[in-house]
Structure 1
Amino acid sequence: MRTDVYHNRMQLVRAARDVIGHRGSTDVGIREIASVAGVGTATLHRHFSTKEMLIDEVSVVRWSRMEDYARRGVRPGYTPLQNVLAILEAFTRMTTADDRFITAAGLTVGRAPRAIHPIREAFEPEFAALWIQAQREGMLRRAADPRDAVELAGAIRDRTRRIQMMTMLTAGICAPAVDAESLVSEMCLKRSK
């Protein structure tokens, strides 16, 4: 995809997320979304044939990042456990940032737009492979399930308590010998650099 085409597409996705989140409703006109994106309605229609497709694309972009992280790892040199936790932490950041949009669009944990199903189907085995590696290394509890961890991470949307909630999630999935607080703290410090 050409750089300008990709830029316009992402501008439209961000504008839809921001306008819908600000309004608290999907009852927004495409002209307003296009205007906020800095493009014409014809450009919007070249990328998305319906407003619903544009709304779904916000989730598609979020899950595409998740799939990329699971496939390639978040940072070179990360252990499987660090990658698992970094992916969950990234998801909490994305859902926290998109909270108003998610609420306005009526998205709920465990019920995703049909458009993300193929991406999520690509994400899940990659994430599960990292998860299994971390379990084999004794870093994650045997009874912990990667799908549950993703659902719980997706429910974290309180900006003021995100780190504490991520720490609780981490403590719940990690083996007893793992210092969850230190791991989450270290991860967040690396993220801010």
Structure 2
Amino acid sequence: MPDRQRADARRNYGRILAVAEEEIAAHGADASLEQIARIAGVGSATVRRHFPTRRALLEAVSRKRIEALAARAQALTGESDSRAALLEWLSDVVAYSASARGLAAALTYDGTEPDPLHDNTCAAVMREAGDPLLHRAMQDGAVPPGVTIADLIALIVGIVLATEHHPDPAAAADRLFRLSVAGLSPQT
């Protein structure tokens, strides 16, 4: 949102974003844009002017959490156990995504060509944040070669979306994440 926007446009943006956060928390990524506009006291066109796509709205709602996850990855980069640092960060991503409806949807690959104006910045920030952790774990031999942050984020998105209607989505997502890390082979 440019600083040179009119004061009423800035107020509308803030009101739409606040309502969107509540509606997405209550109804998930498919929250009604018309309902958001109605509650915010603006027209649908105003919502679409500020957020031309649903993904743009989801990303705006998720921005603070994504920035916190990026900062967390940076803080873990210097840890001595690179595998533990990577898994701790991924566990944080699972917990944030499970507790913030809409965040997993903001990270999904939707099959469309990237639009330079409305690219999936959440996913890009997450890749940039997690790459150093993954790269270091690979260098240490703690993660097999060929794994990418995009692979790991896709795994997390799948887990979070699969558990979003569970009575305790955070616990269910954490359990499935830990199962995916441990694998199905018995410990020897």
TM over 0.5: yes
Where does residue 95 of structure 1 map in the other structure?
97
C-alpha displacement at 1:19, in angstroms?
A: 4.6
Which position in structure 1 is the counterpart of 2:175? 164
Q: Give CA-to-partner distance per residue, 1:69-114, whole Å, 9 cap, x none.
A: 33x2259856332231122112212222234x469xx768322896
Deviation at 1:116, TM superposition (A): 5.5
Query: What CA deviation, in whole Å up to 9, does each residue of 1:108-151 have, x standing for no partner?
Result: 83228964634533432442221121122222123433321111
What's the secondary structure of 1:161's corresponding residue? helix
Instruction: Give the number of equivalent residue pairs.
Output: 158
Write the mapping of 1:27-176 to structure 2, written as runs, cut at 5 A. 27-32=34-39, 34=40, 49-50=50-51, 52=53, 53-70=56-73, 72-74=74-76, 77=79, 79-99=81-101, 101=102, 109-111=108-110, 115=118, 117-157=120-160, 158=163, 159=169, 160-172=171-183
Q: Is the 8 A contact 1:80 1:134 kept in 2?
A: yes
How far is the alpha carbon of 1:24 from its aligned partner?
5.0
Q: Verify the 8 A CA contact 1:156 1:165 in the aligned structure 2.
A: yes
CA contact (8 A) 1:63 1:116 kept: no
- Alpha-carbon separation, structure 2, partners of 1:119 and 1:107: 7
TM-score by length of 1: 0.57
TM-score by length of 2: 0.59
Q: Distance in 1 between matches of 2:148 and 2:50?
A: 38
- Kindly state the Cα deviation for residue 51 of structure 1 after the two structures are TM-superposed: 7.6
Residues 85 and 10 (structure 1 numbering): CA distance in 2 closer, same or farther, change over 3 Å?
A: farther
The alignment partner of 2:35 has SS state of: coil
Q: CA deviation at 1:152?
A: 0.1
Contact kept, 8 Å, 2:70 with 2:126, in 1: the verdict is yes
**SS at 1:21's partner residue?**
helix
Identity of aligned residues (%): 14
Deviation at 1:16, TM superposition (A): 3.8
Which 5+ residue runs of structure 1 have no aligned equivalent? 35-39, 180-193
Q: Is the 8 A contact 2:20 2:36 kept in 1?
A: no
| Residues 129-176 of structure 1 deviation map (CA, whole Å, 9 limit, x = unaligned) | 21121122222123433321111012112225222211122235xxx9
